[in-house]
Every structure is written in structure tokens, then in C-alpha cells.
Amino acid sequence: MNLPNTAKVFSEDETGILAIEFSKMIKNGDVIILNGDLGTGKTFFVKALAKNFGIANVSSPTFAIVNEYYGSKKIYHFDFYRIEKATELFDIGINDYLNDMEAITFIEWGNLFPEVFPEKRIEVNISMNEDVSRNFEIKKYE
């Protein structure tokens, strides 16, 4: 997969295939921001991707703020949906997570607090179409 990349998917199976393809190009130290409305498939995308790293217990971190997973890769999975101020993120040590070069960090609802993003990141924007298909736009920032 080359970046930037756009894809239109019509099913969970196609989303899973895209996630597996994407998982082959990411590496430790990457920060991946996932943006999209409720129900667009942000968590499903992370679940499908993590499965490729031997991680099967992925769940939404909406209430926990961050979940940690261990398989062939270490993954931090954030959800900013319930965060009210960026200071809450700094209080839980967001910078330590973002600077862990041994992990891949996923952030759902990252568009709510873009000020905490590192310059080097990958953004995955997901939108739902009227026919319930999804558009994925994946862009890398250096």
C-alpha cells in the first residue's frame, strides 16, 4: 500500500482486508489517528488490524481512555471521545505513550485534540456513504 491512499469498502470483510494491508506497512513508533463519525468503523478497523498481530481481545477504549494490547506488536489504543480538555490527556501521560518507539499507537476521535499529535503520524479518515459503504482516506505526515 502506498500513501496517500483512498479506498471504498462495501463490507466488514473488505474493511478487514484493507486493515491487513495497512498493518503490513506500519511499524513500531507509528502514531495512527482515526477520524470518523459514530459507527463508521474506527474500532472495527483497529480490531481487524490487531488480529494480524496476534491480538484478539480488542475493545473500544471509550470509557478506559486507553487500552494496551500485546501480541507480535505492542499496541496502545486511545479513544478521545469522552475527553473534555487536552490537559486530561497530559495528566494520563499521553506524551509517554506517543514517544514509545516499541509500540504502535492508535487514537480514535483524534480530530478532537489535534494539538497533541506529533508531526510524524498517519491519519485514517473514515466516512460512511448513503449505501452504507465506507470511504477510507489514509495520509502520512512526516
Residue 33 gets which letter from DSSP?
Answer: E
Q: Which residues have a Cβ under 8 Å from the Cβ of 75 and sit 6 or more positions away?
A: 46, 50, 53, 55, 68, 69, 103, 104, 105, 106
What pLDDT was estimated at residue 1?
Answer: 74
What pLDDT was estimated at residue 119?
Answer: 94
pLDDT in 10s for each residue of the chain, 142 residues? 777 799 999 999 999 999 999 999 999 999 999 999 999 999 999 999 999 999 998 988 877 889 999 999 999 999 999 999 999 999 999 999 999 999 999 999 999 999 999 999 999 999 999 999 999 999 999 9
**Which of 27, 34, 24 is closest to 1 using CA atoms?**
24
What residue segments make up the domains of the chain, in order of their start?
Answer: 5-141
What residues are paired with 31 via a beta bridge? 105
What pLDDT was estimated at residue 64?
Answer: 83
What pLDDT was estimated at residue 3?
Answer: 76
Residue 23's CB is within 10 A of a number of other CB atoms, namely 17
What pLDDT was estimated at residue 92?
Answer: 92
- Domain 5-141 class, CATH top level: alpha beta
